[in-house]
Structure 1
Amino acid sequence: MAPDFWSDNRKAQSQMQQLNALREEISTWEGLATQLSDLHGLAELLDEEPDEEMQAEVAQSLPPIEEQIEKLQFALMLSGEHDERDAIVSIHAGSGGVDAQDWAEMLLRMYLRWAEQHRFRTEIYDYSEGEEAGLKSTTVEIRGRYAFGYLRSEAGTHRLIRLSPFDAAHRRQTSFAKVEVIPDVESSIEITIRPEDIEVDTYRSTGAGGQHVNKTDSAVRMRHIPSGIVVTCQNERSQIQNREVAMKLLKARLYEIELKKREEETARLKGEHVQADFGTQIRSVTVHPYSIVKDHRTNFEMGDTERYLSGDVDPFIYAYLQDKAGGVASLEE
């Protein structure tokens, strides 16, 4: 009701989104409380006057409620400062040649399918195609509540072991790809970037992005001189829009660097070892000689690699969240 509430339209929209999210969360819990209260009342009546048909209906009503509560319990683990925010995911092919580039594209497809299953929106901002197949690097934004909270578990090096489809001898090949996940903080964190500290180049969009990539002269490459960070965007229809997106990506990466500095300083004061980058291998997918996906941080395993690569990443995300919360993964395949 403040008279100047809409004077800053972007800030007002951000606050309205937060308000709607809180309303939805409260409504969900209140709805569950009402359902349980009604069932409790029915149970008391059935104690006085047993009715087998009614008892069966009450019993059938419980599993869906239990399932919903279990999902909400996982959401309660997402208490990080930026867990509720959208996620900016970058995938880079590592060692392994063409197989690694193909592996990077497989990971992109997997996360896009995961996002679709969660009804999250996605937008590919940059796509650098591989020399023979796959991709060298890509950046995609995944928009939805808790997108970053869930996907931060995916940051790190992912390994694939299989018989190479690009090798004439069909030999076993190990490939690596790196996944980076940062929150979209542009709307809430004030990061100052001086105009003289950036260099901007424009070029024609290229790549196998299909409908995601607009092949015009509007693509933008932005370099932050002090940090050496380079971001690109070739998805939007105009150079102005690509500049805006590139600036958002740059701000997110600068914030990530600042956050790492703070964490490293805190850990140094505590005398703890700090991992400087997401360089460690977090998960392995083995297709040959046997089929298994294993997370090396939680030791959680899944035997169905096809299901995993089709977007069923939740069991690994939940195991990671439980591990961070001090629990033990209980979800079955």
Structure 2
Amino acid sequence: MLSGSRSWLQCSRCLGPSLRTAARPVFARVRYQSSSTPSESYAQVSPILLRRARAVAAERDQLSAANAESYDVAVAKKIGELSPVCTALKDWEDAQNSLNELTSLLHDPSSDAELRSLAQSDIDSTVSTLPALTNRLKTALIPPHPFANMPCMIEFHPGAGGSEASLFAQSLLDMYRAFCARMGWSTTLASYTADDSVPEVAMTDALLEINAPGSYDILRSEAGVHRVQRVPSTEKKGRTHTSAVSVLVLPNLPETGGEDLDYENPESDYYIAPQDVRSETMRARGAGGQHVNKTDSAIRLTHIPTGIVISMQESRSQHKNREKAWQLLRSKLAQIRREQREAEVINLRRSVMGGVARTGREDKVRTYNYSQNRVTDHRSGKESSNLDDILGGGLELEDLMDSVREWMSENEVRGLLAEEELRAKMSDGNGPGKR
């Protein structure tokens, strides 16, 4: 969304000292009070972020003027990307201007008591809208995730905990399928391997496709390690066991690319060099009746540089299995490349701001405690005492997801503030290495 390169980001050793100062946000204080009852509101928008928002608005106006003379599809798309910031900025500035006018009216000696009372009422009403307007402006400044509008896939891998982990992985799969059904999203179980060592329904791995545009943006916060604490049915002494399941959320890329997804450009995140992939055919294993083990329909792709292995055998058609395997491999590599580009910025934010700027796929994100009927999200800190509703994909799960997205937005705003302040310092010649 935001123009300009971020190539100035280098390493925490060079930039850390400057960012430690830059990371401290500066809040503009605005005070409104009547002659009888003082009230105070804080417009918590850093001047640095306001300057960034106004620069975006100016860029949008310039592009709009140029596009009015000679229309260009790419420019029109860019204008659309900048518009949410402009709208949020206008609403915030309108509220500020209204408050200034009402405050002048309130303190005007020529205003009668009734007019001052009306002005105070309008001030109180406008002030009450400021937190939401402020939050909308700050959130609009966050660059959108490149996969935000895509459908997604969720991968499940039981970890520590043996059969308990396999059982809980099945519970998580059922939870997300129920959530998707409630949202009206269609799903496809693209890959599933049952855990035959467990008498109950359990799995060793699964891949769930969610065929809804924008589902990636809603579900990407679910990636990470989900931990369960409960007493297994086979536990004779009533001891609580802890198991874990790794959940990976991937963009579901179209098979043929198109628009911004350039599969043929070696500079693209979506390109895979054919010589980097070893392809093997094999006979399908597991349930499937008379067609299993009759033909070499299963496909295994190995991406040699990363060691990623994709196996697909769900279809009786080798061609369909190959297409699906390539699609999954492309999604995994695109996700990894995106994460690698973000890694330096993420580590920098962690070193500068303290805490965790975001979580990775190896981080513990949520704990499901059966004996206490409690679910705790370790990022937002939100807890729920309705385990059944969460595992049933209900509103409690949606509330947890909302809390995590809010937590992610707050961290992104803090990071954006630090970056913009450092950008301003460097443009003034006061960046790292300057004395």
Q: TM-score, normalised by structure 1?
A: 0.68
Q: Following TM superposition, by how much is the alpha carbon of 1:267 offset from its aligned partner in structure 2, in angstroms?
A: 4.0
Q: What is the RMSD computed on CA atoms of the aligned residues?
A: 3.1
| Counterpart amino acid of residue 324 in structure 2 | V
| Residue-by-residue CA offset, 1:275-319 (whole Å, 9 max, x unaligned) | 89411111010111x111110111111111111111122111111
* Equivalent in the alignment of 1:264: 343
| Matching residue within 310, 326, 331 for 1:252 | 331
* Equivalent in the alignment of 2:389: 307
Query: What is the rounded CA distance, in whole Å, between the counterparts of 1:86 and 1:267 in structure 2?
Result: 25
8 A contact 2:224–2:359 mirrored in 1: no
| Matching residue within 315, 318, 329 for 1:239 | 318
* Equivalent in the alignment of 1:182: 250
Q: Following TM superposition, by how much is the alpha carbon of 1:168 offset from its aligned partner in structure 2, in angstroms?
A: 4.3
Deviates more, 1:187-196 or 1:243-252: 187-196
| Counterpart amino acid of residue 402 in structure 2 | Y
* Equivalent in the alignment of 1:323: 407
Q: Are residue 106 (structure 1) and residue 171 (structure 2) matched?
A: yes
8 A contact 1:157–1:178 mirrored in 2: yes
| Matching residue within 267, 273, 277 for 1:198 | 277
| Counterpart amino acid of residue 144 in structure 1 | A
| Counterpart amino acid of residue 282 in structure 1 | V
| Matching residue within 299, 311, 319 for 1:220 | 299
* Equivalent in the alignment of 1:153: 221
* Equivalent in the alignment of 2:57: none
SS at match of 1:85: coil
Q: Which has the larger radius of gyration?
A: 2
* Equivalent in the alignment of 1:30: none
Residue pairs, 1:291-306, within 5 angstroms: 291-306=373-388
Shift in CA distance, 110/189, structure 1 to aligned 2, threshold 3 Å? farther
Q: TM-score, normalised by structure 2?
A: 0.53
Give unmatched runs, 5+ long, in structure 1: 1-14, 23-72, 328-333
Query: What is the rounded CA distance, in whole Å, between the counterparts of 1:130 and 1:163 in structure 2?
Result: 20
Query: What is the rounded CA distance, in whole Å, between the counterparts of 1:139 and 1:165 in structure 2?
Result: 27
* Equivalent in the alignment of 2:209: 141
Shift in CA distance, 268/283, structure 1 to aligned 2, threshold 3 Å? closer
Residue pairs, 1:17-36, within 5 angstroms: none
SS at match of 2:343: helix
Q: Following TM superposition, by how much is the alpha carbon of 1:180 offset from its aligned partner in structure 2, in angstroms?
A: 0.5
| Matching residue within 160, 166, 183 for 1:118 | 183
Q: Following TM superposition, by how much is the alpha carbon of 1:206 offset from its aligned partner in structure 2, in angstroms?
A: 4.0
* Equivalent in the alignment of 2:192: 127
Q: Following TM superposition, by how much is the alpha carbon of 1:136 offset from its aligned partner in structure 2, in angstroms?
A: 1.4
Query: What is the rounded CA distance, in whole Å, between the counterparts of 1:292 and 1:203 in structure 2?
Result: 45
SS at match of 2:176: helix
Q: Following TM superposition, by how much is the alpha carbon of 1:172 offset from its aligned partner in structure 2, in angstroms?
A: 1.7
Query: What is the rounded CA distance, in whole Å, between the counterparts of 1:108 and 1:114 in structure 2?
Result: 10
8 A contact 2:230–2:241 mirrored in 1: yes
Q: Following TM superposition, by how much is the alpha carbon of 1:269 offset from its aligned partner in structure 2, in angstroms?
A: 6.4
Query: What is the rounded CA distance, in whole Å, between the counterparts of 2:178 and 2:346 in structure 1?
Result: 36
Q: Following TM superposition, by how much is the alpha carbon of 1:234 offset from its aligned partner in structure 2, in angstroms?
A: 2.1
Equivalenced residue count is 253
| Matching residue within 366, 372, 377 for 1:283 | 366
* Percent pairwise identity: 28
* Equivalent in the alignment of 1:8: none
8 A contact 2:155–2:248 mirrored in 1: yes
| Counterpart amino acid of residue 301 in structure 2 | M
SS at match of 1:199: strand
Q: Are residue 163 (structure 1) and residue 231 (structure 2) matched?
A: yes
